Chain A
């Protein structure tokens, strides 16, 4: 019988313990930052799923919006509790994602990128053009924050713990997918699609599965955001927000599961610290993106591995060239 690996469980326990302690150590506004951070965490990890197959899309934030709008409609029309709206919104987002990707399967690379943008904009324009039921340009307001018994999720702390629980579950599932045969298959599609097909992998099916799974989790992020804001509008899910997501992914890298998370952490810090720069901030973010694309195309993921390899090479006493040979 194999000995269980306690290290990941221990790390998980530490993360949960720290996460539970945070609200007692920081100010009320900082809790709000953490709530948004955890929602973005789900979003950025969900984007990695289709990205590992090589399908970088420009519609992922719109799929987050599908989750948000679904939550809004379910809450306001059917008065459903947050514990139902979130999973149902995720299912709807997943289905929409699956439908969206079907015509896109014939495209690859830049073609997929642009075609996904077009389909995403189609959905966003539907929200803008149809005042009923989507509220048109104004969007929808009056979305309840949710509650658990007498605990009102309007207050930051209860909602923080709710989002933390949802984020943990989502990240564990996405990590398990990444480490599973399915996750390896996704990576194989990107590494060598022809070889993957030659060994019997149904490439279109797995690409569609990856896209749908990514949309599912993006829908969860959207639902959580909608309940926190109490309002959704098309501008929340436009190309500007998509660019921020791309920046997180590019900065972090997609080689490992942790890459996008590192990118999100770094850019969240930069985002908050750069507020006094006012209108110069977009320039800063654009410059950061260009820097990483030129000097660190693999992102922080790649940088981490390079540093680790150098340290290991020094420890082993051999030069890099000896290791390579």
Chain B
């Protein structure tokens, strides 16, 4: 496995290591974007302003949370309730969301769709017909397919975690908070830059909608960045024994193993198998639940593994920062000993849904209305939109057929001494512009473009 020492020894002409150059450049990109936006990353107080809060002056705005809150997919949904609620409470502490001069408090209603289309449609109908929600936080995937005709007709904004859900016939479906599949596309680029001597890339994920599409984008990107993709297989989502899956992959002698968008529970089992089967290369994934993984493998084994769900106590964000405030608030409320103790550490999913939720809220504030057509047009017209990961932008027409993708900067973490630490933050658009034709061709050959699904 490549160590930081080895990497540091790889120098460029001016004596700066590749890793150092990447860090410097990405920080500069992020900082420049932030400065051009007029502010360094927004730091609204989650605790509440010291001055007296404004009282609500308008009707409440109801928000829906439609995702798996039980069953195997609950890992992507249930934690999201905490982050959304923290954000809602922060907004309501100021009297509510400022919409057209009125302070309108937010209220969230949750519905467990068990990641099933029929239940998701039932939930969407309940949330819209009973609660008149204007915005729905969701996981996406098959439930997005089932709900979009109804939500399109009812003109309700549906925020999927997964950009692959975006399609031109879903004008009110936005996504991008999960930075999928952009992060899966950028990890090969990151590794190519940091580890130029590595050549062989293997990628696996489950054979559901999100796995198939995200993996297609990752393979296209890896090929465009000069990797030899030696293994590209989607395992059955019903897989319970990952030993043969990993064996087959390792038979191709990869130097980097990417788990793409494998579910968190699958990632733990796969990494365990990689360890047991003696894999010594790099591990890369969309999301690494390090707390769970390190119960199966030693800390040293995970050193250098990459993902894109940063921890909010990462010094990268600085102090004070939105992220630090969020972490403090979350631990105080949901952490050990808190009034709503959830008996676990904070995960990336706890804040994942907040990304697009906050973007929508910003759009509502700017537009002065909750009308989804006006809100989305307003967002598309912005050069920069504050997100919890930094200044973002609406885009994605070339990938999804419509500019409904929220695109914040993408953090890339490496595991250091058992803890994820941000190593780089990358602007996706600049990277994609240079490679899009090549990548899109691969995705199209795999039948995963938006107009093929």
Contacts and interface: CB of A to CB of B under 8 A. Distances in A.
B142 A136 contact: no
B114 to A, nearest CB: 7
B207 A128 contact: yes
Main SS at interface, chain A: helix
B165 to A, nearest CB: 11
A106 interface: no
Contacts of B146: 141, 229-231, 233
Given A27-B129, A236-B116, A281-B112, A229 B121 contact: yes
A139 to B, nearest CB: 6
B244 interface: no
B447 interface: yes
B294 to A, nearest CB: 24
B343 interface: no
A152 to B, nearest CB: 10
Interface stretch (B44-52, B68-76, B86-94, B296-304): B68-76
A236 B126 contact: no
A27 B130 contact: yes
A233 B153 contact: no
A233 B146 CA distance: 9
A141 B209 CA distance: 13
Given A131-B447, A235-B117, A236-B118, A278 B112 contact: yes
Contacts of A236: 116-118
A237 to B, nearest CB: 10
A29 B149 CA distance: 16
Contact of B145 (A139, A280, A281): A139
Interface string B417-440: 000000000000000000000000
Interface in A229-250: 229-233, 235-236, 240-241
Contacts of B212: 136-138
Nearest to A239: B238
A197 B310 CA distance: 69
Contacts of A154: 149, 153
Interface centre among A27, A141, A228 (most CB of B within 10 A): A141
Nearest to A233: B142
B70 A278 contact: yes
A141 B129 contact: no
Interface centre among B74, B121, B142, B237 (most CB of A within 10 A): B142
Nearest to A283: B70
B10 interface: no
Contacts of B209: 137-138
B282 interface: no
A322 interface: no
B114 A240 contact: yes
B237 A137 contact: yes
A32 B74 contact: no
Interface string B191-230: 0000000000000000111011000000000000000000
A312 interface: no
Interface in B94-134: 110-112, 114-118, 121-122, 125-126, 129-130
Interface in A268-296: 275, 278-282
A166 interface: no
Interface string B127-157: 0011000000000001001100100010000
Contacts of B130: 27, 29
B344 interface: no
A28 interface: yes
B112 A275 contact: yes
B78 interface: yes
B110 A229 contact: no
A141 B169 CA distance: 12
Contacts of B453: 138
B444 to A, nearest CB: 15
Contacts of A229: 117-118, 121, 146
Interface in B34-74: 69-71, 74
Contacts of B153: 154
A230 B121 CA distance: 10
A235 B122 CA distance: 15
A165 B356 CA distance: 43
B208 A137 contact: yes
B137 to A, nearest CB: 15
29 contacts: A27-B129, A28-B129, A29-B130, A32-B122, A128-B207, A128-B237, A137-B142, A137-B208, A137-B211, A137-B212, A137-B237, A138-B142, A138-B209, A139-B117, A154-B149, A225-B118, A229-B117, A229-B118, A229-B146, A230-B121, A230-B149, A231-B145, A232-B117, A233-B142, A240-B71, A278-B78, A279-B74, A279-B78, A281-B70
5 shortest interchain CB distances as A-B pairs: A29-B129, A279-B70, A138-B209, A28-B129, A137-B208
Given A137-B211, A280-B70, 5 more contacts: A29-B130, A33-B122, A139-B117, A231-B142, A231-B145
